[in-house]
Amino acid sequence: MAQYTRVSGFVGLITLQNPPVNALSAPVRQGIVDTVQRALSDPEVKSVVICGQNGIFCGGADIKEFGTDMFGPPLIPMIHAIEAANKPVVAAIEGIALGGGLELALGCHYRIAHSKARLGLPEVTLGLLPAAGGSQRLPRLIGVPAALNLITTGRHVTAAEALQLGIVDQVTDHNTVDAAVKFALRVGGQSLDARRISTYPCPQQPDLDALFEDVMQKVRQSARGAIAPVACVQAVRAAATLPYTQGMEREKELMATLFTSGQARALQYCFFAQRAVGRWKMPNGARWDTSKPRPVHKAAVIGLGTMGRGITVALAQTGLSVIAVESQEKQLMEAKQAVSGMLERGAKRRGVAPVLDRISYSQDIQAVADVDLVIEAVFEDMALKTKVFRQLSAVCKPGTLLCTNTSALDVDQLASETPNPELVVGMHFFAPAHVMKLLEVVYGSRSSPEAVATAMQLGKKMGKASVAVGNCRGFVGNRMLKLYLEQASFLLEEGATPELVDGALEEFGFPMGVFRMSDLSGLDVGWRIRKGEGLVEPGMASGQSARIRQGRRYSPLGDLLYEQGRFGLKTSRGWYQYDKPGSRVARSDPWVHSFLEEYRARHGLVARNIDHQEVLERCLYAMINEGFHILEDGIAAGPEDIDVIYVFGFGWPRHRGGPMFYADMVGLAKVMEKLEHYHQAHPDVPYLQPSNLLRKLVASGSPPIHTWGEVIKKLHSQL
């Protein structure tokens, strides 16, 4: 809807009304068309101001309308009519002007923004381009390089930057609508010839071809197979080289391709999934809207190794006071330096002062007596963690939340060691903890809703996509990852190379294939985890039962590399070789190839040709199947939770939506059929057998992902 009022005698004020972000739904577009017409036909009205209610100009097209039969007046003619008006139209931008919202403002003759407003064309993040003239008007207004930057990244700019770029004409600290009305009164009656952006020539740019070639190359590299950034460059190129009307035609063509692409669907799914996981619920009925988080002002971190340091930084940057405890003096000194360095670099990047004084360091756990929440990040050892939790229970004030950053250990077992198990939850960060955007909040069987709500809220404050998950070995992310890693090793045994497997996964869109990732995180880390699971014993890797552990197929390849001292990047040898420890450039290693050949010969394995498709199916479908088990077990509340975990924590390409969305796109029947095929070929790998839930979904006609919940509910009620 849009409301129309006449203000100051001569100004028609149009207010967009569609909470919470005044998205341009059909009724809003109709409202704009009607009210603009009314203002233009009223002889008393000399100029027009467009604003949004509740201090928000407009969040763009209504994303919920995409993928439905869109009705109502289209955006493009609506914006053209505003630009063609013979009375000045001023956009009063408060809050946000994003996507179609900014395109609407670019159709106005003047733009006035509040100093706190943010503007941008984020369509690329939804798999689209600014197709309501944004790709054609913005370059004409601010030049090709700046427009390319904004449109291909989708980044938001502040009002100050928008003013500097020339996107807005004025910035105010005061009431924006009042300022716009005053401005509109002043410019009423003035010529608008120089104010219609579509009539501007695109500013000249030397070496246009070289510029576009360079940008296209960079965009292709970073897009990892996403098509929208490429289309954005093509659209801006049209603005720079074609007359406006032809440019608009090109914008429309490119948009039509994107709009119907699976990538746009996947990215829009991600947008809503990211928001849906905030509305968490637990199997016992506790939920986000009925559980009250506790205030957390002061927190403690126990154990300042890789994870504890990052967690300390993340907490301090969120504004909390932090007590950082480390038992080893040398580690404590090193951690202090490392944490200060991370804070200083972060502050420099953001142009703010580092918050070093928010952290106090101690070797004594007694120092945490008055904190509201503790995050334990000591070694992955149940006995040690139990000891720490007992100490914390004795030291902390009543009601302090005790959180563990364990990667896979049993949160219930830890909780049972404390007098208040309801105060214990997992807060599983990902390395590096101050950078990675994912947090798994693990609730145990006795965690209180209040404890979960507090951890979820803290995660949100830290800027993490926080997902509440149940307690099981590896929770959601690592539980699925295990099978992905295992399939990759089996493929090596059967004839693949690390390069082939990584190539297929990187082509799919992962920033790094599985073997490059193992080298980066360290082969010693995986070895220690397998040892903890009782899978590794000295001498086992080459003995009789080398390829069978705990009654099923096992690949000792990673253990054999570990035994050679090949820990990956840190030793400059792993699945690849590196020029020096820590170097990021992975080079093929002939040693690994002959090692694999010898290994196969020793075990009587005959190498066969393995193609990219098999790599993807084996690695990804095994993981997806585990995702269905996780849903069946109620460990994740819905497919969105799993997908958000994979997109934010494991580099799953966002334009493919996440593993469960991908399964839906591929077709559940196909995934099931392939799993059956691979299970038949590898009967010693039980997890390749399609899960109950997958079978049920296929039997129910493969319903769309947003309705899986009903099938899951039915399955649970039958148990």
Ligand X SMILES: CCCCCCCC(=O)CC(=O)SCCNC(=O)CCNC(=O)[C@H](O)C(C)(C)COP(=O)(O)OP(=O)(O)OC[C@H]1O[C@@H](n2cnc3c(N)ncnc32)[C@H](O)[C@@H]1OP(=O)(O)O
- The span from the CA of 455 to the CA of 450, in Å, is 9
- Given the residues 44, 83, 94, 123, select the one marked as catalytic: 123
CB 574 within 8 A of CB 512: no
Residue 60 in contact with ligand X, rule: CB under 6 A: yes
Q: Which does 378 bind (CB under 5 to 8 A by kind): ligand NAI, ligand X, none?
A: ligand NAI
φ, ψ for residue 8, nearest 5 deg: 45, 35
Residue 476 in contact with ligand NAI, rule: CB under 6 A: no
Q: Indicate the residue among 261 and 471 with the shorter CB distance to ligand NAI.
A: 471
Binding to ligand X (CB under 6 A): which residues in 591-610? none
Binding mask 1-30 for ligand X (x = CB under 6 A): -------------------xx-x-------
Residue 452 in contact with ligand X, rule: CB under 6 A: no
Minimum distance from CB of 571 to ligand NAI (Å)? 17
11-16 vs 321-325, strand pairing mode: unpaired
Q: Which of 305, 495, 503, 511: binder of ligand NAI (CB under 6 A)?
A: 305
Burial of 132 (0-12, 13-18, 19+ CB in 10 A): buried
Q: Indicate the residue among 248 and 395 with the shorter CB distance to ligand X.
A: 248
Give whole-number Cα distances, 353 to 26, 311, 316, 344, 349, in Å.
46, 19, 12, 8, 10
Q: Indicate the residue among 463 and 686 with the shorter CB distance to ligand X.
A: 463
- The span from the CA of 640 to the CA of 630, in Å, is 12
For residue 191, the tally of other CB atoms under 10 A from its CB is 9
Q: Which stretch binds ligand X (CB under 6 A): 96-104, 319-327, 381-389, 620-628?
A: 96-104
Residue 61 in contact with ligand X, rule: CB under 6 A: yes
Q: Which stretch binds ligand X (CB under 6 A): 124-132, 287-295, 379-387, 460-468?
A: 124-132
- Given the residues 94, 103, 493, 617, select the one marked as catalytic: 103
Minimum distance from CB of 268 to ligand X (Å)? 9
CB 205 within 8 A of CB 117: no
Most distant CA pair in the chain, distance: 94
Residue 407 in contact with ligand NAI, rule: CB under 6 A: yes
DSSP class per residue in 310-377:
HHHHHHHHTT-EEEEE-SSHHHHHHHHHHHHHHHHHHHHHHTS---GGGEEEES-GGGGTT-SEEEE-
Residue 312 in contact with ligand NAI, rule: CB under 6 A: no
Q: Indicate the residue among 157 and 388 with the shorter CB distance to ligand NAI.
A: 388
Q: Indicate the residue among 413 and 689 with the shorter CB distance to ligand NAI.
A: 413
CB 462 within 8 A of CB 274: no
Residue 393 in contact with ligand NAI, rule: CB under 6 A: no
For residue 433, the tally of other CB atoms under 10 A from its CB is 27
Residue 98 in contact with ligand X, rule: CB under 6 A: yes
- The span from the CA of 144 to the CA of 135, in Å, is 10
Minimum distance from CB of 440 to ligand NAI (Å)? 9
Give whole-number Cα distances, 192 to 132, 165, 509, in Å.
21, 21, 47
Answer yes or no: 632 catalytic: no
Residue 378 in contact with ligand NAI, rule: CB under 6 A: yes
- The span from the CA of 656 to the CA of 266, in Å, is 5
Residue 99 in contact with ligand X, rule: CB under 6 A: yes
Q: Which residues are known to be catalytic?
A: 103, 123
Contact residues toward ligand X (CB under 6 A) are: 20-21, 23, 59-64, 75, 96, 98-100, 103, 122-123, 126, 128, 130-132, 134, 255, 259, 272, 275
